[in-house]
A and B are shown apart, each in its own frame.
Chain A
Amino acid sequence: MAGEVTALTMPKWGLAMTEGKVVAWNVEEGAQVAAGQGIVEVETEKITNVCEAPVSGVLRKRVAGAGDTLAVGALMGVIADASVSGNEIERFIQEFRADTAGAAATEGEALRTSSVTVGGRPIRYLKMGEAGEVPVLLIHGLGGDLNNWLFNQPALAQKHTVYALDLPGHGGSTKEVGSGDVGAMTAAVIGFLDALGVERVHLVGHSLGGAIALNAALEHPRRAATVTLISPAGLGTEVNVSYIEGFIQAERRKEMKAVLGRLFANPETVSNEMINNVLKYKRLEGVTAALGTIAAAIFRDNKQALVLRDRLAEVTVPVQVIWGKQDSVIPPSQAVALPAAISVHLLSGAGHMAHLEQPQEVNKLIERLVASA
């Protein structure tokens, strides 16, 4: 819209992020940018990612330069139509700074997880966004937690209510996992939706979370609006059990760094903070036992115990499968020869964590499937 000026602000990726560093701009001042185009690279203690243009227009001003560190919510750049005068842009910048001098700091603190009781035990979750009719539910994989969706949840929350939860045995949820199998995890997820009074969701699951999402759609067909499976378990028997064992056994920093590197196409993605967070999680009482119980329930003889591939056709809602081509935990070959109704997307430059390594692409695919439903 002519005359409208839009602020490009330091995003908040993850609960702990309070500031980020501008690494590099991908576009010059005065260049035309499209909504969703990655225009500036931002580095946090956790990870580096590309920040997208919130709207289409001209990048009128790069307020922050490469190397600058900004608080979450602080102004990085200004996007406006070419018809807006330079004076108006300057005034916008001055006013924005005056308005948000205090607000930027509080925005850095604002994300707070909540907890509900499911079967008498706590399940931690993070809710973002209020828009849309049917919420999106993000389910992480073995050893993960709701922070794995730090690049996806804020983006999806612009148009939808988005929940990310910690499965039993993970993050801030109960460390009691029952039998630890996909059925028990599915029951916990459905119990979570019941506790929140949410009828239907767009299911998005990664790895073990993928098997849980698929199983939930099969066992509770009325609860699923669409199903997005990212490097999912449950589509074949093959799995890199040595990775799983390495993750469960690694106690020292050095071992954990090597293990986590195997999750990514580019092992450099593993930051110091990522390693420290996983070590902190693994130290919590009950975690090693919980992971052991889950692993024993979902793997048998170095293979996946539950394969739902033959039942895919029973799912009547739209299903898509997203897989990193360099996935070395679950082979992307399991995405071959699926029922024709299922769209399959193999992503370059991604390993087992496509949603962290290629978030723009993954977010786009989720948006598209959700919109089709």
Chain B
Amino acid sequence: MSKKSFRQAINEALRDEMRRDPRVILMGEDVAGGMGAAGEQDAWGGPLGVTKGLMPEFGRERVLDTPISESAFVGAAVGAAATGLRPVADLMFIDFMGVCFDQILNQAAKLRYMFGGKATVPVVIRTMFGAGFRAASQHSQGLYPVFAHIPGLKVVVPSSPYEAKGLMTQAIRDDDPVIFCEHKAMYDDQEEVPDEPYAIAFGEANVSREGEDVTIVAIGRMVKFANEVADKLEKQGISCTVIDPRTVSPLDQDTIIESVEETGRLVVVDEASPRCGMASDIAAMVAQNAFKALKAPVKMVTPPHTPVPFSPALEDIYVPGPSQIEAAVRAVME
């Protein structure tokens, strides 16, 4: 056990699973180096260095650089999964889903169902999401609820290095297509991560704080902010439960409902757009199942329903942070 970054944690899970199972392969832009050019071996390790060091160990047979054509290599990954491999494809930015969506929504998500369970598609699509990176509207969105909307996909949004390693291990071992959403501002976050392999089950939320007054459900990078707020408010006499669903599909509804039944107050923090997002989904689910327990209206903390602004000043206001979460908790306590 030692301190590891979010980046290292995912790298370790990929390495462990590639050692364990020869069917696991990686594909994506620059995951092995530069496009086959001499002297460009393992130069990048993917856009943010997550796959660095894997090509030298496993070779270009299993770590494949692809052309800049998401529709081609995501489709190839889905086909390879349906015919016996366990590919991990790197979609770089989640915003690029648009160019390869049929492969995901109509092929990967449907095959097992339409073949009566006789086919499986054990593909993992890694992808970066999130604002705060000064990367403008086409490289900053939090589109994971779009995937969560589609039955047949599993959608993971890890909140820390420990979570990322265990959830990636599970994603690779899972027989269904998994969309693995990494927040691009978290790669240098550090915490204690075991050296051994371990898998974290899908559909089971992590309860990082247990309190009596307010339930905060937070996703991805927002979990860290929610824990900070919970720590601060604890000292001021407001005690919060913080729930990280880990996977937005499947969603651990029971843990959320049971907690709201105890606290009677809910704040949902989601970096995705507010309309048809995880916050509205979870708020509706609680309203339907625990309405009688609620002592105050549910509060949603989300960005406004706009594209992510390129102006740094506007982008900083756009992303929810600790102060918005604290204000929401105080509001439901009134």
Contacts and interface: CB of A to CB of B under 8 A. Distances in A.
A285 B166 CA distance: 11
B210 interface: yes
A253 B199 contact: no
B198 A285 contact: yes
B198 A252 contact: no
A183 interface: no
Contact of B196 (A69, A272, A284): A284
B198 A253 contact: no
Given A283-B199, A284-B194, A285-B198, A172 B204 contact: no
Interface string A255-293: 000000000000000011000100010011110000000
Given A69-B235, A251-B201, A283-B166, A175 B196 contact: yes
A286 B199 CA distance: 11
B206 A286 contact: no
A285 B197 contact: yes
A146 to B, nearest CB: 13
A106 to B, nearest CB: 16
A172 B207 contact: no
Interface secondary structure of B, over-half rule: loop
B209 interface: yes
Nearest to A271: B210
A87 B286 CA distance: 58
Interface string A137-160: 000000000000000000000000
Contacts of A280: 162, 194, 198
A67 B199 CA distance: 38
B33 to A, nearest CB: 31
A258 B182 CA distance: 33
B255 interface: yes
Contacts of B208: 272, 276
Contacts of A283: 166, 198-200
A332 B312 CA distance: 66
Interface in A153-210: 172, 175
B196 A286 contact: yes
Contacts of B199: 283
A253 B207 CA distance: 9
Contacts of B207: 253, 272, 276
Nearest to B258: A254
Contacts of B198: 280, 283-285
A72 to B, nearest CB: 16
B314 interface: no
Q: Give the interface size bracket for A toward B.
A: 10 to 19
Interface residues of B, number: 22
Given A69-B235, A172-B1, A175-B196, A272 B210 contact: yes
B209 A272 contact: yes
Interface in B270-320: none
A365 B12 CA distance: 46
A285 B210 contact: no
A215 B209 CA distance: 41
A271 B194 CA distance: 22
Contacts of A69: 235
A175 B196 CA distance: 10
Given A272-B209, A283-B199, A253 B194 contact: no
A253 B255 contact: yes
Given A253-B204, A272-B209, A285 B255 contact: no
Contacts of A286: 196
Contact of A276 (B194, B201, B206, B255): B206
Interface string B63-84: 0000000000000000000000
Contacts of B162: 280
A251 B237 CA distance: 33
Given A283-B166, A284-B194, A284-B196, A252 B204 contact: yes
A254 B243 CA distance: 14
A252 B255 CA distance: 11
A272 B242 CA distance: 11
Contacts of A253: 204-205, 207, 255
Interface string B180-200: 000000000000001011111
A172 B193 CA distance: 12
A254 B199 CA distance: 18
A175 B197 CA distance: 12
Contacts of B254: 254
B196 A285 contact: yes
A173 to B, nearest CB: 11
B13 to A, nearest CB: 12
Nearest to A283: B198
Contacts of B210: 271-272
Nearest to B206: A276
Contacts of B204: 252-253
Contacts of A271: 210
Nearest to A19: B231
Interface in A101-120: none
Interface in B139-174: 162, 166
Nearest to B209: A272
A276 B166 CA distance: 14
A276 B209 CA distance: 10
Contacts of A67: 235, 237
Interface in B111-133: none
B202 to A, nearest CB: 12
Nearest to A252: B204
Given A251-B201, A253-B207, A272-B210, 11 more contacts: A67-B237, A69-B235, A175-B196, A253-B255, A272-B208, A272-B209, A276-B208, A283-B198, A283-B199, A284-B194, A285-B196
The 6 nearest A-B residue pairs measured at CB: A272-B210, A283-B198, A285-B197, A284-B198, A284-B196, A285-B196
14 contacts: A67-B235, A175-B196, A252-B201, A253-B207, A253-B255, A271-B210, A272-B207, A272-B210, A276-B207, A280-B198, A283-B199, A284-B194, A285-B197, A286-B196
Interface of A: 67, 69, 172, 175, 251-254, 271-272, 276, 280, 283-286
Interface of B: 1, 162, 166, 194, 196-201, 204-210, 235, 237, 254-255, 258
